[in-house]
């Protein structure tokens, strides 16, 4: 089986132990000095560095992250659906991740949308991040057909209504205009998660989205994950997601 875990940082063993919530960093150092810590079956020394996902045993007992709660950040490719199973047998985001737990995505991206999506078995985090009161900001980069004009920019500035409900546009930037190819790249940050919301925002001002990618989810970015690659979130990142 091939594990496609990328973008992980090497960290000191005591830091990884502390991140997993097992004990303090100082106490972890003591356990390492006493020869009680094994990583992937080998006793480690103080100062050794490991991957966040390595198997750690303390006095023969494996320590897991947060009671077997798992958190993955995936760079979703095009042509993959954001659900656990598909009636039509299409590939799902869950198929891309080598996890033993029953994970699912937090929110959805369209079949043809790429980019950052979180998968977990932590229902609390999922509820937390998708609840409108927590105002989690997501940023998308849209490649639109056509060259945006002043009037369309003003419409985005003044507020867009979809199904008679105003969309909170936190920010948007026209990143690049290609007059020859007749395309505009626009990044847009929003809170809500109505279906096809970004495509509908641009459609409402007369721009058709040709390609869409989610680049940011709260403070998280794709980093150097290639399409289809994923990594685990650290406990620190999970705690930060809960802080909103």
- Positions marked catalytic: 110
Q: Is 19 in the site for ligand URA (CB under 6 A)?
A: no
Distances (CA, A) of 190 to 136, 208, 217: 8, 18, 10
Distances (CA, A) of 66 to 72, 151, 153: 14, 50, 45
Handedness of CA 100, 106, 107, 111 (dihedral sign): negative
Among 84, 197, 205, 220, binds ligand URA (CB under 6 A): 197
Q: Is 192 in the site for ligand URA (CB under 6 A)?
A: no
CA distance 210 to 12: 44
Among 11, 110, 168, 203, binds ligand URA (CB under 6 A): 110
Per DSSP, 125 falls in state H
- Burial string for 75-88 (b: 16+ CB within 10 Å, else e) reads bbbeebbbeeeeee
Of 8 and 111, CB closest to ligand URA: 111
Strand partners, 15: none
> What is the per-residue binding string for ligand URA in 35-64, x denoting contact by CB under 6 A?
------------------------------
Among 70, 80, 109, 225, binds ligand URA (CB under 6 A): 109
Q: Is 113 in the site for ligand URA (CB under 6 A)?
A: yes
Q: Which stretch binds ligand URA (CB under 6 A): 69-77, 87-95, 165-173, 197-205?
A: 197-205
Among 199, 235, 237, 241, binds ligand URA (CB under 6 A): 199
Of 212 and 241, CB closest to ligand URA: 212
Q: Is 212 in the site for ligand URA (CB under 6 A)?
A: yes
Q: Which stretch binds ligand URA (CB under 6 A): 91-99, 168-176, 196-204, 216-224?
A: 196-204
CA distance 194 to 126: 16
Q: Terminus-to-terminus CA distance in the chain, angstroms?
A: 37
Q: How far is the CB of 28 from ligand URA (least distance, A)?
A: 40
Q: Give the 3-state secondary structure of residue 25.
A: helix
Q: Which positions lie near ligand URA, rule CB under 6 A?
A: 109-110, 113, 196-199, 212
């Amino acid at each position: 089986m091939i594990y496609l875990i990328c973008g992980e940082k090497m960290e000191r063993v005591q830091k990884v132990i502390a991140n997993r919530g097992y004990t303090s960093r100082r106490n972890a150092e003591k356990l390492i000095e006493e020869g009680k810590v094994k990583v992937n079956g080998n006793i480690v020394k103080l100062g050794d560095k490991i991957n966040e996902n390595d198997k750690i045993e303390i006095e023969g007992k494996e320590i897991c992250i947060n009671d077997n709660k798992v958190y993955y950040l995936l760079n979703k490719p095009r042509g993959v659906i954001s659900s656990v199973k598909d009636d039509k047998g299409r590939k799902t985001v869950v198929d891309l991740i080598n996890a033993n737990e029953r994970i699912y995505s937090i929110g959805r991206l369209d079949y043809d949308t790429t980019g950052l999506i979180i998968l977990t078995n932590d229902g609390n985090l999922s509820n937390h991040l998708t609840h409108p009161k927590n105002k989690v900001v997501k940023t998308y980069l849209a490649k639109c057909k056509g060259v945006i004009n002043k009037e369309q920019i003003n419409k985005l500035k003044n507020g867009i209504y979809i199904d008679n409900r105003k969309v909170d546009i936190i920010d948007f930037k026209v990143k690049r205009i290609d007059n020859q190819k007749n395309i505009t790249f626009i990044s847009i940050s929003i809170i809500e998660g109505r279906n096809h919301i970004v495509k509908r925002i641009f459609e409402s001002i007369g721009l058709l989205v040709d390609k869409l990618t989610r680049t940011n989810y709260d403070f998280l970015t794709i980093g150097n994950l290639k399409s289809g690659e994923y990594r685990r979130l650290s406990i620190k990142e999970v705690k930060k997601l809960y802080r909103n």
